[in-house]
């Protein structure tokens, strides 16, 4: 990544932080409140993670 990209990421992160009064808990609470919208993706991630962990166990154990 170049400096311009990194600066852009930092600017966006700062704007997000500003939206939540620079309080990480406010941001976390917001994300939790929105999780119902993404339940399908969350469940797919959990399933994929479990599958990957099981596969890793088979390879190492």
Q: Quick one: pLDDT at residue 50?
A: 86
Cα angle vertex 39, ends 56, 9, to 5°? 80
Domain ranges of the chain: 23-61
Is the pLDDT at 60 greater than 80? The verdict is: no
For the four alpha carbons of 30, 35, 41 and 42, in that order, the dihedral sign comes to positive
Is the pLDDT at 56 greater than 70? The verdict is: no
DSSP 37: G
Cα angle vertex 40, ends 20, 47, to 5°? 110
Yes or no: say if 42 and 35 are a contact pair by the CB < 8 Å rule: yes
- pLDDT mean across residues, the chain: 90
**Average of pLDDT values for 22-32?**
96
CA-derived radius of gyration, the chain: 18
């Amino acid at each position: 990544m170049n400096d311009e990209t990194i600066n852009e990421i930092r600017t966006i992160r700062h704007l997000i932080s500003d939206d939540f009064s620079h309080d990480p808990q406010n941001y976390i609470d917001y994300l939790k409140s929105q999780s119902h919208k993404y339940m399908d993706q969350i469940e797919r991630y959990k399933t994929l993670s479990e599958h990957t962990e099981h596969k890793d166990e088979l390879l190492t154990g």
